[in-house]
Structure 1
């Protein structure tokens, strides 16, 4: 995949994150696959641990989780998958339990903003039981696609907080939604992996910026080498591989300006602190 054409060359858009805003990672488990099945050019001798990690954004206007990781009933959720999609996995502590262990006041959590509805991003909704932030295109995908089965199960009885991606283009992506109106959390439509898959851009008061790119690529090789998923996996995992390729090129163009976090790359979360007991100010 060539990356010679720049997609974003302007200064980053202004953002005014409040001083108390912060990020925390909540790792909930991993599953294993061969690098050859994760990224073009990967080796069958190389085993990759895929992260299932939620990210907590604290903000005075209301906190959000990006995705939910593994839930309390992840074993049941994996049994709902086609056999070819199952992989060896290790379960950690659910995001819900990590919040409780940290003494987090759950009333602060306004919901889970899903990058997309595949099982490994939504399983943890079974124990969080908070509103789901989702756009219309992704909701339609969840209703009709076989890969939405786990989402349909865990979302039963939960409030669906539908947002519109009716804002302007953002960092090369076609449309956006500014969650708080201050540029600190901006959701941009990516598409291709699923109909309504999104990227969540976060600007911190430190000046650091993050792009949580969901499954545009599963591993950082996709950013550092421009490597797509292998052909067969593109056929299985993406609804429009060309749109994913375009989104990946847009993300690569941003990689010198911010930290790019593919959802399933363990090392991509290294700069984000974990929750600790009493670690979040009221």
Structure 2
């Protein structure tokens, strides 16, 4: 459990002026399976959890972004690159690229892919996307050197990288941020802990709804609804700084009444986000 109860966020929300034609869509690229006991403290060893590998399309008139890339065309090869004990049973769906193509998406709109961090299940789909990967320097260094960056190094050999730094100050309790479009609609905030440069991507929609894509601060919504961390062994294996992950989890829990919090691997967390179906000739995306 988090070391301190998370007090609900009561301060005013940061200003945001999302354009009226801004939107958000989920692109589920597959799932993989693990036991609940390994996913979250208090989980049953007899329950299997389906972990989402989902990309999210953020449409904006100044250019679109994907949050994470999901499974790629070569996901079989990517899983084979993992240590044997880390290779999960998995189910493939269409890649993010295949889903965008099926919808008639204009790839000239795509500015790049913001990865919450560089672990394999977030970057595999870069192999199918001809778009830059957006990353801060701390995460780039981790991806270049750490053993858990092997898949990232493979898929990024032919992928351009756009570097960004978070110089816009604290945001919704996180210590540093970058307002991508300057209108508060897409803000990347530094979380750290799971990997050195892992981030949360906040999205504000014209409807007034706000989303927080928190990557792997917790793998499942249990982490938000009951404050459950990863089991001790998994924290030691998966996180570079478990204490900082705990802090990020507390910050996320505090926001749950004002932001839709989306842990990257909880399938049900994406339920409020429509799936991509069609893009009309004017560029509007329909769900």
Q: Given the two structures, how large is their TM-score scaled by the length of structure 1?
A: 0.98
Other-structure match for 1:265: 266
* Secondary structure of the structure 1 residue equivalent to 2:248: helix
User: Aligned partners of 2:22, 2:67: CA distance in 1, in Å?
Assistant: 15
Mapping of 1:86-235 within 5 angstroms?
86-235=87-236
**Deviations 1:221-269, CA, capped at 9 Å, x for gaps:** 0000100000111111000000000000000000011100000000000
Tell me the matched-pair count: 282
1:70 — aligned with what? 71
Q: Distance in 2 between matches of 1:34 and 1:27?
A: 21
Q: Which moved more, 1:1-10 or 1:223-232?
A: 1-10
Q: Secondary structure at the match of 1:123?
A: helix
Gaps of 5+ in 1: none
Residue 84 of structure 1 aligns with which residue? 85
* Residue 38 (str. 1) matches residue 39 (str. 2): yes
Alpha-carbon contact 2:67-2:115 (below 8 Å) kept: yes
Distance 1:5 1:56 in 2: 30
The secondary structure found in structure 1 opposite 2:45 is coil
- Report if the CA contact (8 A) 1:70-1:124 is conserved: yes
| Superposed displacement of residue 7, structure 1 | 6.7
Corresponding residue SS for 1:172 = coil
Task: Report the aligned-residue RMSD.
Answer: 1.1
- The offset of 1:165, in angstroms, is 1.1
